[in-house]
Chains A and B, each alone.
Chain A
Amino acid sequence: MKISAIVTLKKEVLDPQGKVVNQTLKNMGYKNINNVRQGKYFEIEIDETNEKNAKNTMEEICKKLLANSIIEDFTINLK
């Protein structure tokens, strides 16, 4: 099955790239955009039929490698 994770910087961590994108969107005329946070998206194919097991493995992978818990949060989605 396919499972994905989105890793983003925590709210309290400055995201200069997100800020620049936000500013650029404003310059392009999108006046109603207030905030942009940039993140990373991972799509993983896993040999697993049980959703719970897949989620648990993904959580472990996120904690150990994909995200740095000091500065980043992650959310896991089953596809």
Chain B
Amino acid sequence: MKSAVIVFPGSNCDRDISVALKKFQIKNEMVWHDESDLPKSDLVVLPGGFSYGDYLRTGCIASKSKIINDVIKHAEKGGLVLGICNGFQILIETGLLPGALLRNKKLRFISKNVYLKVNNVNNKFCLNYKGKKIIKLPIAHNEGNFFAQEKILKELEDSDLIAFKYCDVNGNTNEASNPNGSSKNIAGILNVNKNILGMMPHPERHIDPVLSGDDGSFMFESLLKSF
């Protein structure tokens, strides 16, 4: 399996994801945002960070960068796209995923481990979470408050496109277990064809049971399995 990680000025999780991909024997290539052609890849990752210093709106300037046209083409052909944190914000700004990511409700940057409910395991990213309903991953963001109009939220629910929801240790999704004010406790969503996943939590930071935890590993194993 081949992947490409897009690097923007201000990306800071690009090397973490590259280490994770390599650990799972995915052949990765780093691609600078100013390139116009993607190398041949099965998976494109938009990493976390603060692309272009979060100017204008988070992810906004990155969504107009040169390489994005090719990322959109790749996505439209059914290629896998994973956007983590700032990557999720970029996916939303490109229109590949619906909604918007607002500032956290309490205006604080949140950096902590959170419990997540895996809502949909029938996609290439989450296959291996089957039977593992509640997982723990880190979040580290200031703009992760998912917002969408009622109509869109209903579509996401009805079509089972919510991949992850913030919850507590028992799986309760409510206001108390919602760190940032996201509608319906949404932490990650899929597109209709389920080849694009955008999520605020960082699976690439939890791939080692000794150092952190390995709930992120399941995602990379899923990708390999589905390939």
Contact = CB atoms under 8 A, between A and B. Distances in A.
B147 A16 contact: no
Contacts of A17: 103, 107
B103 A71 contact: no
B111 interface: no
B57 A68 contact: yes
B99 A70 contact: yes
A3 interface: no
Given A17-B103, A68-B57, A70-B148, 12 more contacts: A13-B147, A14-B102, A16-B103, A16-B105, A16-B106, A16-B107, A20-B107, A65-B64, A68-B60, A70-B100, A70-B147, A71-B147
Interface residues of A, number: 10
Interface of chain B, main secondary structure:
loop
Interface of A: 13-14, 16-17, 20, 65-66, 68, 70-71
23 contacts: A13-B102, A14-B102, A14-B105, A16-B103, A16-B105, A16-B107, A17-B103, A17-B107, A65-B56, A65-B60, A65-B64, A66-B56, A68-B57, A68-B60, A68-B93, A68-B100, A70-B99, A70-B147, A70-B148, A70-B149, A71-B100, A71-B102, A71-B147
Interface of B: 56-57, 60, 64, 93, 99-100, 102-103, 105-107, 147-149, 181
Contacts of A13: 102, 147
Contacts of B60: 65, 68
A72 B105 CA distance: 17
A11 to B, nearest CB: 13
Contacts of B149: 70
A45 to B, nearest CB: 18
A66 B56 CA distance: 7
A53 to B, nearest CB: 23
